[in-house]
Structure 1
């Protein structure tokens, strides 16, 4: 639940990016809103690896629960800032700068969030069900996206467009900020079964090399999961071809994707613990690669919002099936004393390199080829890279999770 609340804060920015851009960035100038909007969007991802190393190391040294309390506080602080900062018309570039800072704080916190919370979920769960713990992490992200989408849909349907642009879009951020005490209560009540390593530990040169090799392979596996996720976000907002969907259709599709991600995350984790973690990851990546091109071709031919939501959710679900198992697979390749750092850095770097850039690459592919369905080729490439990285990482020994 606490993980859901934290990612809810982060997803809100993506859902309301258009309203935020018109509020905080100058319009109709050469320097303009476009450059600042892109910079703010990228900042949340570029600050993730730094947060992963800093907060992941803190989680490994001082405890996963302590790190989770820090990340929850920072993300909520960023949401408060976005909710209360005056518009560009009121304070000029100070508005743009403050929102950029809030976005970087959120990215820094999310960078350390996945490593600390995932390690906590998997380590405190039953020893024979590590993927189920990872599945809860993936399901929490799905619930967060579902709630953010529903919040946007409710505001679009019940508020006039002018009110939504002037003040309405701030309401979900203010609501998220009010939930900080709930986050603190939930995270403080969690029992931590693995004690954090105390003091400074020196790694041998060989251990450092092994850590780097494992992290690079893990980044390759994250590539296969994050590209479908962010391409789906792009398609939900801008469509495969033709004009973008209406705001209500976009928010409804995002909600459907969140629901599909939640269910698939839980199912994938449960199945993986029964038949094998590696098998479910391979099946999820192959199924995504085989499905994405026909789905995008269908969306190019039919522009029905219902068909679009269903097909995009299908791709998201197939990818999310492997999400929880991937988290568990990567976690068990790192020893406990730098497990949170290993996962956090791999995930944050993979998302920064391939997730944050996926909408831009998708748009570039569509423009270069003249066909939105060609974007599916990037998803297929990501799946192939992930399978190769998984095969290489499989050679590394597993470490005890308890």
Structure 2
């Protein structure tokens, strides 16, 4: 393929347009997570605080069940009709769901309809996010020069973590400005509404993108060229993504953990999300750059191995010294390896997949991994803490899953041009 003639130029505006979809979807996910304590008291039937929280996190988990369906429907749509219309569809659905969530009446006003409506909206959002990742990542891979794919695709993860950072800042500011009662009654609704403000701009920006489906159609099928089985790659991708998403949502649970387990004030707990997001934005981009320079496998394996080694000592330290300073140290430090590893893994998986079915073949294992393990991660952590009364339970669970993911990473082929040239 003559890249100069056929590969669209990736502009800063194009990167922003693709990134906004991820930012909106993940901003809402994080807002729902970090405001779980407040939402539980408004939308769900009154009961003991632990039960209310688990109902909220259960809704959070069930919203992930529609991700695989969205991956199949929108992912295949992206392979047949184009990356651009698929990205417009997923963004429109996500924007609608985000705005509607902020307007759900409380349980006190409409009874059981409140949690049911919230669940339906979470499932619509899950459908949209499930279909977002495949077409948007395929678009970036098909636009980016091969030697810079790691850096370019890492923008996907950086925008996700930027959303986490913004969500933490919004939560911190609102917790400082509002009373506990106001934060519970409507503060979380304001936070969700802020995310909906970018919808019109995001739709306009995506409508101006150039289509890249012709790039995939012109590329040689990776299975024929490299002898790789799509089924094997999908399985390895599912395991890697499952591992990474458990780590991500497990670390994002530190906000709730700080409030419920350590007894820190709400505003101080939000600083964990801010510091996690700050480190993740920086080191997602760094992980992509490193994978272009040194290869996908060394970076993904190195990052997740460091995370596995650091989780238990970090939680021991956090419980021995449950202060805001320790919380910030743990959040920032653990975020670094967790940001570096997954960025390289997804770039490698995307490069290895058959180009003509890249959107769906990436979206489906990604959505399944996130739906099965990511959506349930915080619920399982909350249940383990309640069932075992062991404050180190989150570290044990996340470490075990990360070790399984490392096994799959070791079995992946190396796809970085710099490493393949040396080979």
Question: TM-score normalised to the size of structure 1?
Answer: 0.89
Q: Distance in 2 between matches of 1:34 and 1:375?
A: 16
Tell me if 1:214 matches 2:233. Answer: yes
Matched residue, 2:254 = 235
Matched residue, 1:201 = none
- Give RMSD over aligned pairs: 2.5
Q: Distance in 2 between matches of 1:10 and 1:375?
A: 20
Matched residue, 1:182 = 201
Matched residue, 1:93 = 112
Structure 1 consecutive aligned stretches of length 4 or more whose deviation exceeds 4 Å: 32-36, 364-370, 395-398
Change (3 A) 1:153 1:283: same
Tell me if 1:286 matches 2:294. Answer: no
3-state SS, counterpart of residue 128 of structure 1 = helix
3-state SS, counterpart of residue 192 of structure 1 = coil
Change (3 A) 1:112 1:350: same
Listed one character per residue, the Cα deviations across residues 39-80 of structure 1 (whole Å, up to 9, x for unaligned) are: 421221111111111111111111112111111111111111
Q: Distance in 2 between matches of 1:60 and 1:73?
A: 19
Q: Is the 8 A contact 1:47 1:111 kept in 2?
A: yes
Matched residue, 1:322 = 341
Tell me if 1:107 matches 2:123. Answer: no
Q: CA deviation at 1:129?
A: 1.5
Matched residue, 2:6 = none
Structure 2 counterparts to residues 304-323 of structure 1, below 5 A: 304-323=323-342
Q: Distance in 2 between matches of 1:165 and 1:366?
A: 24
Listed one character per residue, the Cα deviations across residues 280-320 of structure 1 (whole Å, up to 9, x for unaligned) are: 01110111112112111111211111211221221122111
Q: Is the 8 A contact 2:385 2:391 kept in 1?
A: yes
Q: Distance in 1 between matches of 2:352 and 2:104?
A: 43
Matched residue, 2:406 = 387
Matched residue, 2:7 = none
Tell me if 1:146 matches 2:165. Answer: yes
Tell me if 1:173 matches 2:196. Answer: no
Q: CA deviation at 1:321?
A: 0.4
3-state SS, counterpart of residue 322 of structure 1 = helix
Q: Is the 8 A contact 1:45 1:107 kept in 2?
A: yes
Q: Distance in 2 between matches of 1:254 and 1:15?
A: 8
Q: Is the 8 A contact 1:49 1:345 kept in 2?
A: yes
Structure 2's unaligned 5+ residue stretches are: 1-15, 218-222, 418-423
Q: Distance in 2 between matches of 1:117 and 1:235?
A: 29
Change (3 A) 1:78 1:247: same
Q: Distance in 2 between matches of 1:158 and 1:91?
A: 29
Q: Is the 8 A contact 1:220 1:385 kept in 2?
A: yes
Q: Distance in 2 between matches of 1:138 and 1:318?
A: 13
Tell me if 1:27 matches 2:73. Answer: no
Change (3 A) 1:286 1:28: closer
Q: Is the 8 A contact 1:81 1:98 kept in 2?
A: no
Matched residue, 2:98 = 79
Q: After alignment, is 272-281 or 78-87 more displaced?
A: 78-87
Q: 1:44 aligns with which of 58, 63, 85?
A: 63
Matched residue, 1:301 = 320
Structure 2 counterparts to residues 183-202 of structure 1, below 5 A: 183-195=202-214
Q: CA deviation at 1:394?
A: 2.0
